[in-house]
Amino acid sequence: MEKHDNFFIKKQNKKWVLDIIKNKGPISRADVSKITNMSPTSISRIVQELDYEGFVKETDLISSGVGRKANLLNICDDAIYTIGVDLTEKSIKIVIINYFDEIMYSKTIPKDKDEYFMKTLQNISDLIDNALRYKNISKLKVVGVGISLPGFVDYESGLVSLSIQLGWEDVPVAKIMQDYLGIPILVDNDLKMKAMAEFLRGSATNSSSLVLLGIASGIGTSIITNGEFYRGENNIAGEISHTIVEINGDLCKCGKFGCLATVVTEGAILRQANKVKEVSNIKEIIDYYYDGETWAINIIERVTTYIATTISNIFYLYNPKVLVLSGFILEDFELIQQLIEKKYKMYLSEPFKSQAKIVYTQLGESGNSFGAAVQAQKVLFNFD
């Protein structure tokens, strides 16, 4: 528990007023006063501070309605900046967002698959330095850097304990990047960053909770409830990939038989298909499906059935307001989407059936970098 003294209140109330102006501006002082139930005098004092510090400005707009006319307040979009990084097996992407969450800069460079981690982190640092110089943004205005990457992350310390995709084990990413840049660093799993992006600015902005299910080369879920991540004890909750769905199924790389990963991931689907026909991607299998090839029909039907039962299971296990479907297997093929949308309700009964809502991502692949930036702003920005 935090000590509740006057300094604590002051900080909380200031942040509250700023959030209201950010989310509802242009807005009058009187309306801020109404929403917060704080006195006009208090609001004026707080706004004056925020104005002096460069967060808030008066606009040319005038309040409508009864009462004395007054200029409306709005946020200064250049008050602070946040940086988001999306690190994958093959690329590094950085974005800079302003205080309006607008993307001011975006750049992607390729990454060598077997690159030593110090090289990768040095490249990220150089990318950020160059971008800030190019955009003429002072480091003093940068609240922090959010880094999105695949793997298990100790969220508190920013240590990547294991990333099979990157080939990293026990890499203290936050510490190294902080030394390079001198800016606060936040590191988290890519699916979490993507979920937060969809939650705050994407397909689930009107929901208080969501689960994001990603299916591509791997499969995973990320859970947000009451606006916060459900992380579990070690930030590894939602690892649905290695739940057992077929007790006598195929052996998984993790050592167990019948994990979900052995059924619905790209690799698993291609392995099955290649028992009959040489194919190199999902698109080819779908073409064979439309040609009426028995094996292709059976594979697609089986995969979509398992995805439909997985969707159902997620509603029963996590009871989210909305389930966001993400990843190329779920987003790129109309056939798969049609079959899933037809099947998943078969596997729901009340009270889940009438409440279940599924949507697709709005931000797509850019969700990782954007989510990393907004999450960094959310966590790292305060008035300390």
Closer by beta carbon to its own copies, 50 or else 183 = 50
Q: CB of residue 239 vs its own copies: minimum separation in angstroms?
A: 4
Task: List the x/- string, 319-348, binding to its own copies by CB under 8 A.
Answer: xxx------------------------xx-
Kindly give, in sequence order, each residue whose CB lies less than 8 Å from that of residue 37, ignoring residues fewer than 6 positions away: none
383 counts as binding its own copies under rule CB under 8 A = no
Kindly give, in sequence order, each residue whose CB lies less than 8 Å from that of residue 167, ignoring residues fewer than 6 positions away: 114
Kindly give, in sequence order, each residue whose CB lies less than 8 Å from that of residue 79, ignoring residues fewer than 6 positions away: 53, 54, 55, 99, 141
The only residue of 4, 68, 133, 275 in contact with its own copies, by rule CB under 8 A = 4
Q: CB of residue 98 vs its own copies: minimum separation in angstroms?
A: 24
The only residue of 133, 136, 170, 247 in contact with its own copies, by rule CB under 8 A = 247
Judged by CB under 8 A, how many residues of this single chain contact its own copies? 57
116 counts as binding its own copies under rule CB under 8 A = no
95 near 369, Cβ under 8 Å?
yes
The only residue of 109, 118, 164, 254 in contact with its own copies, by rule CB under 8 A = 254
Q: Give me 264's structure tokens.
A: 């619905």
Q: Which of residues 10-69 bind its own copies (CB under 8 A)?
A: 12-13, 16, 36-38
Closest-CA residue to 150 (of 231, 243, 218):
218
Closer by beta carbon to its own copies, 38 or else 335 = 38
Q: Give me 40's structure tokens.
A: 């006009």
The only residue of 234, 274, 281, 338 in contact with its own copies, by rule CB under 8 A = 234
Closest-CA residue to 203 (of 358, 365, 312, 314):
358
Q: CB of residue 274 vs its own copies: minimum separation in angstroms?
A: 23
The amino acid at residue 119 is: K
Give exposure, 127-162, as e/b (b: 16+ Cβ within 10 Å): bbeebbeeeebeeeebbbbbbbbbbbbbbeebbbbe
Closest-CA residue to 237 (of 255, 253, 251, 224):
224
245 counts as binding its own copies under rule CB under 8 A = yes
Pairing of strands 185-189, 142-149: parallel
The only residue of 44, 205, 280, 355 in contact with its own copies, by rule CB under 8 A = 355
246 counts as binding its own copies under rule CB under 8 A = yes
Closer by beta carbon to its own copies, 230 or else 381 = 230
C-alpha span between 258 and 247 (Å, rounded): 5
Task: List the x/- string, 154-193, binding to its own copies by CB under 8 A.
Answer: -------xx-------------------------------
For residue 308, what are the β-bridge partners?
Answer: none
Chain residues binding its own copies by CB under 8 A are: 1, 3-6, 8-9, 12-13, 16, 36-38, 152, 161-162, 208-209, 225, 230-247, 254-256, 305-306, 309, 312-313, 316-321, 346-347, 349, 351-352, 355
